[in-house]
Structure 1
Amino acid sequence: MDSPSLDPSRDAQAEPSWDDLKIFLAVVAHGSMNGAGRALGQSQPTIARRVRTLEECLGVDLFQRGPNSLNLTDAGRAVLEAASPMAEAARSVPKLAAAYRPDPEAPVRLTATMSVTMFLSHHAARLASATAPTEIAYIPMRRKADLAAAEADIALRLRRMPEEEDLIVRKIGRIAFAIYARTPDVAAVIVPPEDPNLSRQAAFIAHYANGRPIAARIGDVPIRYQATKAGLGAAVLPCWLGDAEPELVRVADPTDEMVEDIFLVTHRRGRDRESVARVSAALVDLFRRERDALAGTRQAD
């Protein structure tokens, strides 16, 4: 095993400089200090001095120096193995940053549940006018979008305050769900496909059913809404939708568990992006204006 010529009892005085580690990697890659100097645009004496500074910092020799040779010591090979992934990571940083660098003309991606996205679509013209020239890309999804992975720019989330790091969270309203039917005399119910033990809406309609037969199991709100209008049975719908439909009557008011908080969530990365701020402000204003409709303040017939 190679023996370092530096004093092995002397501890390293400081963390090594990343610049010195890069020079060390260049010497290894090019096989000589002259080669590393040409690649880096520095003189051979400068390269040699920086390598020696690194060795003194670490307290070991990294190379065995001969008249016409430069070979790694055991310590040098260990440092090479540790530093190489660092170099790969450093090279990936510009590409990673480019992926997160916002395009000022790119659409703002807005994700929400199907029921909230449906509400937004009813007010899309107002939002478009308030946010022009910014485009909004509406992305309905059941799962939570990963804002840290840049899956969306803005998320509207229900019920629970998000706790992930680096998120900016603001409560902007509440949304209520009630039970609606074509007529007050309900013969059957339309239920979500989820287990009532796992879904609040499924538990709500199951309790209301009270022996009434299940006409269908429908998860998507727009389809459930159309089936309810068609007279298939009573179903859970957002109050802003059911109350505004003249062909439907409310047959059961929201319980406390059927009123959920709405949170506007953005990532800190996009806080200075003008288009995201513009859309966020328009959403806050929309939910303020439609507060009563969303909360379902009227009572069942």
Structure 2
Amino acid sequence: MDWDDLRIFLAVARAESLSGAGRSLKLDAATVGRRVSRLEEAFGSKLFVKSPQGYALSEAGDRLLPHAEAAEQAFAGAEEELSGIAGQLTGQLRIGAPDGCANYLLPQVCAKIAAENPGLEIQIIALPRVFNLSKREADMAIAVSRPTAGRLTVQKLTDYHLSLAAHRDYLANAPPVRDKSDLSVHRMIGYIPDMIFDKELDYFAETGAEMVGLASNSASVQMRMIEAGAGLGIVHDFAIPFAPGVVRVLGDEIRLDRAFWLIRHADDRRSERLTRFAEALGQGLRDEVARLERAAFETTLAGL
């Protein structure tokens, strides 16, 4: 048995299909299938059970999985030890993040980290859902709530805030907003109720607003609606500086507190490379949130 066979085994286990594994490995599905068969012959056991839904691990595959992951970590550790350039981070790292964080924070933070580590390739996946680290969809993920299950390591990255906001043009032509009771006559913008994937995104439960007139599963799309003067909505304070004309409303009455959490696979805690990247990411996010929230506050003051 060699490491390359185990690498293919892990790819099939995570993708649950030969074609999916082939795409991640840049191999055709037939080659992946032959390599899996060769590994099964070497062990004398079936490692996968094929069904219409795909390839699921057999009992023998379940037993092999932690050993294959340990081999993967050992190989990655050797690469980290031997390929580093004067203490710089190298190779590819993939981060999964909710679209608000991915759109308004990660570009600046990752640009700075990349500039300090020219040999590092950073990939950002922006999706409004929870990432599956066990399938290696990403090396690490940022979430809006702390997970309570799974073989994961979790650390708090930073607190952040959200506020009710609207464009100045909308406020100039709409009924006044003096307190929460006035919201009933305004069009509200928010998440599609049955597509809220995390309870921390159920913002309107805390505002008293009863109905969303315009909705999207994307925080960025919601901000574009608000910027277009379509109504009021809850937005990240750190996103306001990117939307000219958008200001906080009822700032003393409606302000939500949230946090970003960094999630990693438990087996990655021994990776110095991932730990160093996580430290740089955390510091960068804290600095950027503070800078942008300060700018959002100043923008609102300027509009009064």
Q: For residues 93-132 of structure 1, what are the structure 2 equivalents within 5 Å? A: 101-102=75-76, 106-118=91-103, 119-132=105-118
Aligned equivalent of 2:271, options 273, 284, 290 = 273
Q: Which residue of 2 aligns with 1:37?
A: none
Aligned amino acid, residue 188 of structure 2: V
Matched, 1:170 2:166: no
Change (3 A) 1:219 1:86: closer
Tell me how far apart the structure 1 counterparts of residues 243 and 137 of structure 2 sit (CA, whole Å).
34
* Aligned-residue offset at 1:188: 2.8
1:289 corresponds to which residue?
A: 287
1:286, distance to aligned residue in structure 2 (A): 0.8
Among 148, 157, 163, the residue aligned to 2:143: 157
> Deviation digits for residues 271-290 of structure 1, max 9, x if unmatched?
33343223212111112313
- State which drifts further: 92-101 or 166-175: 92-101
Secondary structure of 1:286's match?
A: helix
- Deviation at 1:246? 3.3
Q: Distance in 2 between matches of 1:287 and 1:114?
A: 15
CA RMSD of aligned residues (A): 3.7
On the 8 A contact 1:259/1:295 being kept in 2, the answer is no
Change (3 A) 1:218 1:165: closer
Larger Rg: 1
Q: Aligned ranges for residues 9-158 of structure 1 at < 5 Å?
A: 89=61, 101-102=75-76, 106-118=91-103, 119-158=105-144
Give 1:132 deviation, angstroms. 3.5
* One-letter code aligned to 2:138: A
Structure 2: distance between partners of 1:151 and 1:255: 39
Question: What letter is aligned with 2:189?
Answer: I
Change (3 A) 1:97 1:171: closer
1:205-256 per-residue CA deviation (whole Å, 9 max, x = no partner) reads: 6x257xxx86522221222222211211222211001145331111133878
Q: Supply the AA of the counterpart residue of 1:158.
A: V
Map 1:242-253 → 2, pairs under 5 A: 242-253=240-251
Query: Against the structure 1 CA distance between its residues 214 and 91, is the aligned structure 2 distance closer, same or farther, given a 3 Å change threshold?
Result: closer
DSSP-derived class of the 1:226 partner: helix
Q: What is the one-letter code of the residue matched to 1:272?
A: R
Secondary structure (helix, strand or coil) at the match of 1:121 reads helix
Q: Equivalent residue for 1:191? A: 190
Contact kept in structure 2, 1:188 and 1:234, CA below 8 Å? yes
Matched, 1:201 2:203: yes
Q: Which runs of 5+ in 1 are unaligned?
A: 1-82
Q: Does the 8 A contact of 1:177 with 1:238 survive in 2? A: yes
Deviation at 1:89, TM superposition (A): 4.9
Query: How big is the shift at 1:202?
Result: 3.5
Whether the 8 Å CA contact 1:193–1:217 is kept in 2: the answer is: yes
Shift of 1:144: 2.0
- Which whole-Å deviations, capped at 9, do the CAs of 1:88-124 have from their partners, x for residues lacking one? 5599567666666547564211111111111212433
Find the partner of 2:164 among 179, 199, 218: 179
The gaps in structure 2 that reach 5 residues or longer are 1-42, 48-59, 81-89, 175-185
* Aligned residues of 1:181 and 1:231 also touching (Cα < 8 A): yes
Counterpart residue type for residue 145 of structure 2:
R
Instruction: Give 1:164 deviation, angstroms.
Output: 3.1
**4+ residue runs over 6 A deviation:** 254-257
